[in-house]
Chain A
Amino acid sequence: MPQDIRKWFLKPHSKDKDNATIPANTALSNLETTNSEPGCGGHESMGRRKTSKYFATDKQKPEDGGEKEELPAKRKAEKDDGKSVRSSPLKKFHKADDDDDDFVPPSVKKNSVGATPSKKLKSGSGRAVAQKSVDIDDDEEEDVKKTESPLKSSGRGRGGRGASGAPAVGRGRGGGRGGFMNFGERKDPPHKGEKEVPEGAPDCLAGLTFVISGTLDSLEREEAEDLIKRHGGRVTESVPKKTNYLLCDEDIGGAKSTKAKELGTPFLTEDGLFDMIRASKPMKALAQAESKKSVEKVAASLPKKSPQNIEAKSTSAPKAPSERMKTVASPAKRKGQNIQQSLLTWTEKYRPKTPNEIVGNQQLVKQLHAWLAHWNEKFLDTGTKRNGKKQNDASAEKAALLSGSPGMGKTTAAKLVCQMLGFQAIEVNASDSRGKADAKISKGIGGSNANSIKELVSNEALSANMDRSKHPKTVLIMDEVDGMSAGDRGGIADLIASIKISKIPIICICNDRYSQKLKSLVNYCSDLRFRKPRKQEIAKRLMQIANAEGLEVNEIALEELADRVNGDIRMAINQLQYMSLSMSVIKYDDIRQRLLSSAKDEDISPFTAVDKLFGFNGGKLRMDERIDLSMSDPDLVPLLIQENYINYRPSSAGRDEVKRLSLIARAAESISDGDIFNVQIRRNQQWQLSQSSSLASCIIPAALMHGQRETLEQGERNFNRFGGWLGKNSTMGKNLRLLEDLHFHHLASRKSKLGRDTLRLDYFSLLLKQLTEPLRVLPKDAAVKKVVEFMNAYSISQEDFDSIVELSKFQGHANPLEGIPPAVKSALTRAYNAQSKSRMVQAADLVPLPGMKKAPKKRIAAMLEPPDDGIGEENGDNLAENEEENSSDTEGPDATNGEKLQSELQSLNSSGIEVQLELKGAGNSSAKRKPAGRGKGGSASAEKKSGRGSGTAAKRKR
C-alpha cells in the first residue's frame, strides 16, 4: 500500500520534471520561456510559495512581461504547428509512464479541452519546475522533497493530533470506505490554513472538470470546490470520462482514484492547482496592454469551441471572457431592447412557448399530452365503450393530477399542452372561491354560483356536450388544489364529484401530493409527478435567457444559481433578473454571495446542527453561525449536545487525557449553567436570556469539545445519540407518580405521616424486605397470609407492591423478586384479590361510580379516629369508619373543607348513588372488616387502581 501511494504520488511530480525538461528537449517554440527564468531561480519559486502573493506578483511582473511577449508568437506558431504539439506537455502530464509525444495524435480531439491546462501548466507549475532544470540535482532534491512532503505531513498531522493509529484508513472519505465506522472521520487537512490561497484570473480554469478525492494538503474540500468554481472550473462527484484532473494530495486507493487510473485521468496536487491559478493571475497586469489585441482575437475565435476561448483568455487576457460573452450580439443594442421590454417580468417573458421549451420533465409533458389528446375518445365517444375502456386501463383517469414543488413549470406545462391541442384552458386557482357550490360543473348556471368563471365552465361544458365538434374544446385547470382551505368548504369532495360526471378534462395541480386533503382526490386522477430539473438543464435555460437579455454570466455561475434555488426555475429567473438590475456581468462570486443568505433558510435538523458545532470546523464558525445552529431548535440542540459532548475528543487537547478531562469538566459546567439560564427563561419568561442560554448550553461546550467523535461503548454507532434526558425524564415522572400513589396510600393508612422522600430513602428497604422476605423464607400459605396482612395494614395495593419492586431495581443488583417461586407469587395475587371484596378502602381514590362520567378528581381517605383508645381497629372497636367512595365532581374544586364534603356525601347518598357510610360495629366477628353491602364498592376498589395512573398523570407535571 505505501508503495502504491508513493508510486502514484511520484508520478505527477516526475511528470512535472518531465514537463520541465521536455519542453526544453523538444525545442518547442517557447523554449525561451523556460530559459528566460532561471535567473530568478529556485528561491523565487519558493518565495512565491511562502511569502505573500504581492511579493510574488511584484517580482513576477517583469518576467511575466517577458513571457507575455512571447506568448502570442508562440500561439501563432502553435497554430501553425497544429494542436498536437501544443498538447504534448499536457499529455505527458496525463500519462506518467510515457514520456514521449507519440501519444499525442489520438487525443487531438480531446485536445481542445486539454490544451488549456497544458498551457497553464506550462506557464504555471511547469514554469516553476522548469526554473530548476538548470541544476538537475537540485531539482531532483526538490522533487523528492515535494513528493515526500505530503506523506510526511500527513503523518505528522496524524501524530500531532494523536488520532488512534490506522494510517491506512487514514484521512479521506475514500479511505473510510474500508470501514463503516470510519465514516465521517475525514481529517483536517494537515496544513490547514497554512498555505495562502492564490487568486487568479476569474476564468482561468474554465472548461476544466475536477474531481476531488481524499484530503487535500491545506484546503477543506468545500474550500477547494469553491476555489475551483470561482475560477470557472467544474467539480463533479464521480469520475466521468471528461474529467480533466483528479485533485488529490495522497492516493488512498479509493474508487475515484482507481477509476481515474483506468481512464487515465491525470492526478493533480493542491500545489499544482494553486500554481495553475496563480499562473493566470499575473496576466491580469498585462491584460490592459493587450486587451485590444485579445479582444480582437477573442472575437475571431468565437465560432470556435469555448475552451479555446478560454485558453486564449487564460493565456492572454483575463478580461477577455467578459468581452466574449457580449460578442454574441452587440451589448448596446441589447440594452436598448431590455429597456423596452422591462415591463414584463422575465418569468412571464420567457415562459416556455412550446412544450419542448419546458425545462426537464419532458416525459411527463408527453404523458400529459397523450392523456389529453386521447381524452375525448376515451371518455366521451360512446358510453359503453368508455366504461369498457375505463376498466381496462386503470391509469387513464378522467382527471390528471400534476404535483411537484413550486416553480417547476406545472402550470406552464398544463397550459401549453392545452394550447397545443387546441383546448381552451380555463384556470381556476386559489384566488377564486372554490366552495361547494362553485365546483358543481354539471349544475350549470342554475347552480347559484356568482362566480363568472364557473359559469363559463358550466356553459362550456354544456355546450361541449351538445356539439363538441364545432365548439372549441375546453379544459378545466384547477390550480393549487391543495390550497383549498376553510373558505372552500367541501371543495375537494365536490371536485371529485365533478370529475366523475365531467364532460371535459380536468387537470388538477398541487404542490404536495401527500397532503391530507388530497387523499381522496388522488384516487380519481392519473398521477403525474414533476421532478426537479437537473441543474444543468436549468443552467442551460438560464443561459438562453441571459444571452437574450444581454447579460453576461458564465455557465458555472448559472449552475451554481440553479443548484441554490433547489429546482425552482421561477426563483432562479427572478434572481437573475434582480441581479441584472445592478450589474451586467454576473460572476460566480456574485451569485454565491447573493444566495448565501437564502441558502441559510433551509431547515437544519438538530443533528446536523450538533454535527456542525462539534465538527472539526466547529472552532472556525462565526459566532452568529453558531448561534443560528444552536437556535435551530433551542430545546433539542442543548440536549443533544449534553448527551454527546463526552464522546468528542477535543482537537485542542490532543493526547493529553488530563487536559481532555478538564475540558469535559468545563463543558459540563457550562452545560449546567445553561440549565440555570433555561430555568430563568421558562420560569420567569426571561426570554432575553435565550442567547446566553444557547451560548452556555451549546456553544461553549461545543467550542471546548469539538474534534473527533469516539465511541464509548462497544458496538455503538459513531453517530450522535438522541438526547437521553427526555426519555429519562418521562420515566422519572412516571416513577414519581407511582411513588406518589404509594405515598398517598401510605398516608391514608394513617400509620405515619412521612414525606415522600423519606418514604423512598428510608422506608423502602424495609418495606421491600417485609413484602418479599416472607415469601422466600416461610412456607407458602403462611408467607402469603403475612404479606397480605402487611399490605392491608399499610394500604399497599398490588400495584404499589409492583412499584416498590420496580423502584428498588438497580442495574447489576439482584432483582428484588429473585428467589420467589412463581407459585408463591400467584398465590399472593390470588389471596390479595380474594380479599379485595372485604377490604377496607382507606384511600378511596378514583373509584368509578356508576353514573359519573369522569373519575372523581378528589381522593378522600378514611376519616380516622385517633387509635390510641384501643390497640387498633383489629379488635373491631367502635371506630366510626367513614368509608367514602366520595366523588367530588367538577363543580366542587373549591369545596375543600370537611363540612362541605360531608354535605356532598349526603347529597350523593340521597341522589341514589350507593355510598356506604358504614358504621363498624363491635359485631364484626373477625379482625377482618366485613362491611355489609360493600360488594360494589369492594370490587370497584379492585378496579380503581387501574384507573389511577392516568387520572393522576397530569398531576405532577413540573
Chain B
Amino acid sequence: MLWVDKYRPKTLDQVIVHQDIAQNLKKLVTEQDCPHLLFYGPPGSGKKTLIMALLRQVFGPGAEKVKVENKTWKIDAGSRNIDLELTTLSSANHVELSPSDAGFQDRYVVREVIKEMAKNRPIDTKGKRGFKVLVLNEVDKLSREAQHSLRRTMEKYSASCRLILCCNSSSKVTEAIRSRCLNIRINSPTEEQIVKVLEFIAKKEGLQLPSGFATRLAEKSNRSLRRAILSFETCRVQQYPFKDNQAIPAMDWEEFVFEIASDIMQEQSPKRLFQVRGKLYELLLNCVPPVVVLKRLLYELLKRLDAEIKHEVCHWAAYYEHKMRRGNKAIFHLEAFVAKFMSIYKGFLVATFG
C-alpha cells in the first residue's frame, strides 16, 4: 500500500496538519446540527481526508463501509431522455460523487441525486442522525446551471440531506451557494508541517530521513502534502538510503511541459508552433487536464521571462484559461495562448535586440 494511503488519518483526532480545523469540526458535529459545508483549498491540503474523517465522526465506522458503483440515471429532460452514468461512492448514510464528470449535463445529476436522497430518508437511524450526507467533489467545475439548481434543492431538502461540497477555488462557486454553506478554508500545509509529516512516516517505516532531504522534498512539493509523500516514496523506490542531495524526480507531465516551455523560448515561428501543438496534443492525450497544462506552462515560461512582459503574458494566460473553461476544444485555446505568447515574445525580442 502506498504511504499516502497508509498514513492517511482516519479520524479527526489523528489529524496532524489541520488540528484546529479538525477540532472545530468535531465540536460542530457533536454539539449541534451539522450545516452544509463547503471545503475549499488547494490540492493536497487535506480536504478529502478531513471530509472522510468528519463522516466517520458523524456516522461511525459505517461511513467507511463504502461501495463503488456506476450508477445510471434515466433523466426525463422534457423532450428527450438522457442516460447518465456516474461513478459514485456510497455508504448507508452518504453518497459521494463528482457531478462535473457528467459534463454539461451535470445539472440533471445534481437535481436527480438530491431528489433521490430526499426520497430515501434513512429508515434505520439507530440513534444516529436522521439525515444523509451528499459529498460533491469538484463543485467549482460545475456549470452555472447546475449550481443554480443546487441552490434551490439545498434549501428544499435540507431537512433530510446535508451537502458537503469540496472544491479548489471558492471563487468559481456562486455566491448563492457559498452563503448557504459554512465555508471552511483548508490551507496548504506549511513546509515545516510537511517535514513533520514526512518524519512521522519515516519513523513509522523505520527509515533514515536526512533533514536536508526532507526540506527539499517539502520545497519541491509546492506545499502539497500528497505530492510530498508521493515523491518521498518514489525516492524510496529509486534509492535507499537517502542522500541529502538526492535527485527528486519530477512528474512525467511536468517534465514534458518543461520541454514545451523551452521549445517555445528557443524559437518563435509557425513551424515551432506546429510542433508545440503536437506536444500539447500529447499531453492532453495522456489525460492531463488542459487547465493544469496551461498553468504549468505559464509557470515555466514566467521563470524565464523578463519582468517587462510577465504581466502581459499572465494576462493572456488568464484570458485563455477563462476561454478554455467556456469552450470545449481545449487545444484551440492552448494553442492560441502559445501563439499569443510567441507573438508577444518575438515582438519583445525584436524590439529589444533588433
Residue B103 CB within 8 A of the other chain: yes
Which residues of A are found within 8 Å of B57, using beta-carbon distances?
A: none
* Interface pair B270/A664, CB less than 8 Å apart: yes
* Interface pair B72/A843, CB less than 8 Å apart: no
* Interface pair B343/A664, CB less than 8 Å apart: yes
* Interface pair B327/A679, CB less than 8 Å apart: yes
* Interface pair A736/B64, CB less than 8 Å apart: no
Partner of A675, one of B252, B271, B279, B333: B333
CA distance A863 to B67 in the complex (A): 5
CA distance A525 to B274 in the complex (A): 55
Which of B180-188, B282-290, B297-305 interfaces with chain A? B282-290
* Interface pair B281/A859, CB less than 8 Å apart: no
Residue B194 CB within 8 A of the other chain: no
* Interface pair B137/A672, CB less than 8 Å apart: no
* Interface pair A810/B282, CB less than 8 Å apart: yes
Residue B98 CB within 8 A of the other chain: yes
* Interface pair B284/A728, CB less than 8 Å apart: yes
Question: Nearest chain B CB to A661's CB is how many angstroms away?
Answer: 4
Residue A303 CB within 8 A of the other chain: no
* A740: nearest chain-B partner, CB-CB: B87
Which of A135-143, A235-243, A763-771 interfaces with chain B? A763-771
Question: Nearest chain A CB to B330's CB is how many angstroms away?
Answer: 9
Which residues of B are found within 8 Å of A664, using beta-carbon distances?
A: 270, 273, 339, 342-343
* Interface pair A665/B116, CB less than 8 Å apart: no
Which of B29-37, B88-96, B209-217, B307-315 interfaces with chain A? B88-96
Interface residue ranges of A938-958 to B (CB < 8 Å): 952, 954-956, 958
Which residues of B are found within 8 Å of A757, using beta-carbon distances?
A: 289, 292
**Residues 237-268 of chain B: 1 if any A CB is under 8 Å from the residue's CB, otherwise 0?**
11000000000010111011001000000001
CA distance A642 to B333 in the complex (A): 11
* Interface pair B273/A675, CB less than 8 Å apart: no
* Interface pair A858/B285, CB less than 8 Å apart: no
Q: How many B residues touch the partner, as a band?
A: 35 or more
CA distance A673 to B320 in the complex (A): 10
CA distance A782 to B73 in the complex (A): 46
Residue A864 CB within 8 A of the other chain: yes
Residue count of chain A within 8 Å CB distance of chain B: 95
* Interface pair A668/B287, CB less than 8 Å apart: no
Which of B2-10, B171-179, B199-207 interfaces with chain A? B2-10
CA distance A725 to B237 in the complex (A): 38
Partner of A753, one of B52, B259, B279, B335: B52
Which residues of B are found within 8 Å of A793, using beta-carbon distances?
A: 1
**Residues 128-171 of chain A: 1 if any B CB is under 8 Å from the residue's CB, otherwise 0?**
00000000000000000000000000000000000000000000
Given contacts A752-B4, A766-B230, contact A861 B327 (CB under 8 A): no
Which residues of B are found within 8 Å of A667, using beta-carbon distances?
A: 339
Which residues of A are found within 8 Å of B101, using beta-carbon distances?
A: 756, 956
Interface residue ranges of A613-661 to B (CB < 8 Å): 642, 646-647, 657-658, 660-661
* Interface pair B237/A858, CB less than 8 Å apart: no
Given contacts A679-B326, A766-B2, contact A758 B226 (CB under 8 A): yes
CA distance A679 to B329 in the complex (A): 9
Question: Nearest chain A CB to B182's CB is how many angstroms away?
Answer: 22
* A662: nearest chain-B partner, CB-CB: B343
Which residues of B are found within 8 Å of A674, using beta-carbon distances?
A: 332
Residue B138 CB within 8 A of the other chain: yes
Residue A113 CB within 8 A of the other chain: no
CA distance A657 to B349 in the complex (A): 12
* Interface pair A807/B73, CB less than 8 Å apart: no
CA distance A861 to B66 in the complex (A): 9
Question: Nearest chain A CB to B221's CB is how many angstroms away?
Answer: 10
* Interface pair B70/A859, CB less than 8 Å apart: yes
Residue B328 CB within 8 A of the other chain: yes
Partner of A810, one of B90, B252, B335, B347: B252
* Interface pair A683/B67, CB less than 8 Å apart: no
Partner of B234, one of A675, A769, A863: A769
Question: Nearest chain A CB to B97's CB is how many angstroms away?
Answer: 11
* Interface pair B285/A713, CB less than 8 Å apart: no
Residue A735 CB within 8 A of the other chain: yes
CA distance A17 to B103 in the complex (A): 77
* A774: nearest chain-B partner, CB-CB: B237
Residue A811 CB within 8 A of the other chain: yes
* A764: nearest chain-B partner, CB-CB: B252
Residue A845 CB within 8 A of the other chain: yes
Most chain B CB inside 10 Å of its own CB: which residue of A743, A750, A761, A843: A761
* Interface pair B68/A675, CB less than 8 Å apart: no
Residue A285 CB within 8 A of the other chain: no
Interface residue ranges of A662-717 to B (CB < 8 Å): 662, 664-665, 667-669, 671-676, 678-679, 682-683, 710, 712-713
Question: Nearest chain A CB to B86's CB is how many angstroms away?
Answer: 9
* Interface pair B252/A893, CB less than 8 Å apart: no
* Interface pair A672/B116, CB less than 8 Å apart: no
* Interface pair A647/B270, CB less than 8 Å apart: yes
Residue A784 CB within 8 A of the other chain: no
* Interface pair B104/A859, CB less than 8 Å apart: no
Residue B346 CB within 8 A of the other chain: yes
CA distance A869 to B336 in the complex (A): 54
Which residues of A are found within 8 Å of B346, using beta-carbon distances?
A: 657-658, 661
Question: Chain B interface secondary structure, helix, strand, loop or mixed?
Answer: helix
Residue A724 CB within 8 A of the other chain: yes
Given contacts A668-B335, A864-B64, A896-B71, contact A747 B287 (CB under 8 A): no
Residue A599 CB within 8 A of the other chain: no
Which residues of B are found within 8 Å of A954, using beta-carbon distances?
A: 85
Which residues of A are found within 8 Å of B284, using beta-carbon distances?
A: 728, 732
Given contacts A747-B87, A898-B67, contact A769 B72 (CB under 8 A): no
Which residues of A are found within 8 Å of B41, using beta-carbon distances?
A: none
CA distance A898 to B91 in the complex (A): 8
Given contacts A761-B251, A763-B230, contact A668 B74 (CB under 8 A): no
Partner of B326, one of A676, A758, A765, A773: A676
Which residues of B are found within 8 Å of A794, using beta-carbon distances?
A: 1-2
* Interface pair A864/B65, CB less than 8 Å apart: yes
CA distance A664 to B345 in the complex (A): 13
Which residues of A are found within 8 Å of B333, using beta-carbon distances?
A: 672, 675
Which residues of A are found within 8 Å of B87, using beta-carbon distances?
A: 740, 743-744, 747
* Interface pair B65/A766, CB less than 8 Å apart: no
* A678: nearest chain-B partner, CB-CB: B328
Partner of B336, one of A647, A668, A898: A668
Which residues of B are found within 8 Å of A765, using beta-carbon distances?
A: 230-231, 234, 249, 251-252
Residue B220 CB within 8 A of the other chain: no
Given contacts A672-B320, A751-B5, contact A662 B287 (CB under 8 A): no
* Interface pair A675/B343, CB less than 8 Å apart: no
Residue B27 CB within 8 A of the other chain: no
CA distance A665 to B87 in the complex (A): 40
* Interface pair B44/A735, CB less than 8 Å apart: no
CA distance A809 to B138 in the complex (A): 27
Question: Nearest chain B CB to A882's CB is how many angstroms away?
Answer: 9
Residue B219 CB within 8 A of the other chain: no
* Interface pair A809/B251, CB less than 8 Å apart: no
Complex A-B, nearest 9 residue pairs according to Cβ-Cβ distance, in ascending order:
A668-B336, A958-B103, A665-B343, A866-B61, A675-B327, A861-B68, A668-B339, A866-B64, A751-B5
Instruction: With A743-B87, A810-B252 given, name 18 new contacts (CB 8 A).
Output: A665-B342, A668-B339, A671-B335, A672-B324, A728-B281, A739-B287, A744-B68, A750-B66, A750-B68, A764-B251, A766-B2, A793-B1, A811-B282, A812-B259, A860-B68, A860-B69, A866-B64, A896-B116
Interface positions of B (Cβ within 8 A of A): 1-2, 4-5, 8, 10, 43-44, 48, 52, 56, 61-74, 85, 87, 89-90, 92, 96, 98, 101, 103-104, 116, 120, 137-138, 224, 226-227, 230-231, 233-234, 237-238, 249, 251-253, 255-256, 259, 268-271, 273-274, 277-279, 281-282, 284-289, 292, 320, 323-324, 326-329, 331-333, 335-336, 339-340, 342-344, 346-347, 350
14 A-B pairs whose Cβ atoms sit less than 8 Å apart in the complex = A660-B270, A671-B335, A674-B332, A678-B329, A744-B87, A747-B89, A752-B4, A758-B226, A760-B289, A762-B224, A762-B226, A766-B2, A809-B286, A896-B71
